Amino acid sequence: MAIAITLLVLDLKVPDAVQVPDGDLLGALAARWPSYLAYLAAFLTIGIIWLNHRAFVDRIRRFDGPLHWFNLLLLLGVATLPFPTSLLAAYLADGGPAASTAAVIYGLLSVATALPWLLMWRHLVRHPELLEPPPSTSPTPVASFVVLRLGRRSTRSPSQSPSWLLSSA
């Protein structure tokens, strides 16, 4: 994922002398605002995916074949993100149908990148043996495993479901 973040910066171009009339470098840089905005959005998107992936992997005891393939699909989405980012940056300032198309392509890739997460979570629910044991193995009342999920409280213990994964460690 670090490589994908690094590739994003390649779209941030330095204006050449022709693009800097009368030495107005600040104006030439300001004209490139769509590139900066697209870079920031993609950087934050990949960064958040990386942080979530890091926390996710820390809670996996072992990967099996399907989990590896779902993880590879996630990497495909992340590695592809620089393309729609460039597309969005190129057409955003002009507006119109081209900008809308670029935004839709960016959004569709973002949605497609969420699909492997869904597949990985479903797989883990069906195969809890792939998970690390709950963070605390000391005798603790079930009430201490209260997890806020979708705005409601769940008092299921980690042994009942892998919902403890949703709480912070």
Q: Is pLDDT above 90 for 37?
A: no
Same domain? For 63 and 95 the reply is yes
Q: How many domains does the chain have?
A: 2
The mean pLDDT of 108-125, rounded to a whole number, is 93
Mean pLDDT of 33-58: 88
CA 117, 2, 69, 74 dihedral sign is positive
The Cα 169–Cα 163 span in angstroms is 12
Comparing CA positions, the residue from 132, 136, 162 lying closest to residue 61 is 132
Give the pLDDT confidence of 145-160 residue by residue, as tens digits.
444 444 455 455 445 5
Residues 130 and 74: their CA atoms lie apart, in Å, by 19
Whether 73 and 12 map to the same domain: the answer is yes
Residue 50 CA to residue 81 CA, distance in Å, equals 13
Residue 15 has pLDDT above 60, yes or no: yes
Is the same domain home to 88 and 29?
A: yes
Q: Both 61 and 41 in a single domain?
A: yes
User: Considering Cα of 116, then 118, then 123, then 128, what sign does the dihedral take?
Assistant: positive
49-84 tens-digit pLDDT: 999 999 999 999 999 999 999 999 999 999 888 888
Same domain, 99 and 167: no
Domain shared by 78 and 95, yes or no: yes
Judge if 155 and 94 occupy the same domain: no
Q: Is 53 exposed, middle or buried (0-12, 13-18, 19+ CB in 10 A)?
A: middle
Q: Are residues 85 and 140 in the same domain?
A: no
Confidence band for 100, pLDDT divided at 50, 70 and 90: very high
Question: Does one domain contain both 18 and 36?
Answer: yes
Q: Do 91 and 165 share a domain, yes or no?
A: no
Tell me the pLDDT band of 140, cut-offs 50, 70 and 90. low
pLDDT band at 94 (very low <50, low <70, confident <90, very high): confident
Q: Answer yes or no: do 22 and 37 share one domain.
A: yes
Give the span between the Cα atoms of 42 and 158, in whole angstroms. 35
Can you give the residue range of the structural domain that contains 163? 135-169
Residue 144: the pLDDT is 45
Q: Please, where are the H alpha helices in the chain?
A: 2-8, 25-30, 33-58, 65-80, 82-91, 96-126
